[in-house]
Structure 1
Amino acid sequence: MRISAAQRTENENRIRAAMDRLLRGEIPSGGKCDIKTLAIEATVDRTAFYGTRPYAHLREKFERRLQALQQVGEIPDPREAQIARLKAENAKLKERLAASEQTVDELTDFRTQVLARLAAQHEEIVHLRESAAGTSRVSHLPAPRTTVIGTCS
């Protein structure tokens, strides 16, 4: 079905108005900032935006404007913004988790080394005590004297 020039102009105006609303972040419930939602909002058949159809140039303009907004960090679709934020948060949490795992590994290695050193030192002490008990050159010190402290009256 052919449309008149006036109808085509009216459709283009509706598409441009819907495009502006979507790019401002006025996304309808259940919609996204995409061609499908643009077509629904402008009450135009979605296939009219593709190939050599009459509104392909408006689809290209919409996609360029959307891409330009995304490049400067603005995401008009709240769902897409939330997804981007959650992905960034997820990446940060993965980095923190990796750092924590590395710290745990380092501390576990340190603990193992410390326990090995303590065991070696204990073995050395036991060996020295045994060798000291077997020699007569070692003299034992007398036990410390205990003194009774009197009270002044």
Structure 2
Amino acid sequence: MKEAQAAGVVRDPRASQIERLKAQVAELKERLTERDTDLAELTAFKTLAISRLAAQHEEIERLRGQAESNGNIRRLPAACSGTAPYGSCS
């Protein structure tokens, strides 16, 4: 076996294992980088969505307060369930 290794015919199995492990480590590092990028994008999206929801909530509250203070706004009666309104195609 040593003669074959010396002649270069047989490779050391440890060397091939080292190369395989290096490739595996490189692949895992790449996957980790991609995961971190995806996580950062999702966190930014979540932050944006929450801020938009908060702004919409504030606008709804402002409009409700404005509607209550005006006094010239009437609430519409609730629609009857089970019947279609006039002019409906359903």
TM-score w.r.t. the length of structure 2 is 0.80
Which sections of structure 2, spanning at least 5 residues, go unmatched? 83-90
* Residue 24 (1) aligns with residue 6 (2): no
Runs of 4+, deviation exceeding 2 Å: 143-147
Paired position in structure 2 for 1:102: 37
**Pairwise CA distance, 1:24:** 1.7
The alpha carbon displacement at 1:146 in A equals 4.9
Alignment of 1:4-153 (within 5 A): 18=3, 21-22=4-5, 23-25=8-10, 76-146=11-81
The RMSD of aligned alpha carbons is: 1.8
Q: CA deviation at 1:79?
A: 0.5
**Normalising by structure 1, what TM-score?**
0.48
Residue by residue, what CA displacement relative to the aligned partner does 1:113-135 show, whole Å, maximum 9, x if unpaired?
A: 10010011011001101100111
Q: Aligned pairs, how many?
A: 80
Unaligned runs of 5+ in 1: 1-16, 26-75, 148-153
Structure 1 or 2, whichever has the larger Rg, is 1
Partner secondary structure for residue 143 of structure 1: coil
Q: Aligned AA for 2:42?
A: L
- Tell me the secondary structure at the aligned position of residue 145 of structure 1: coil
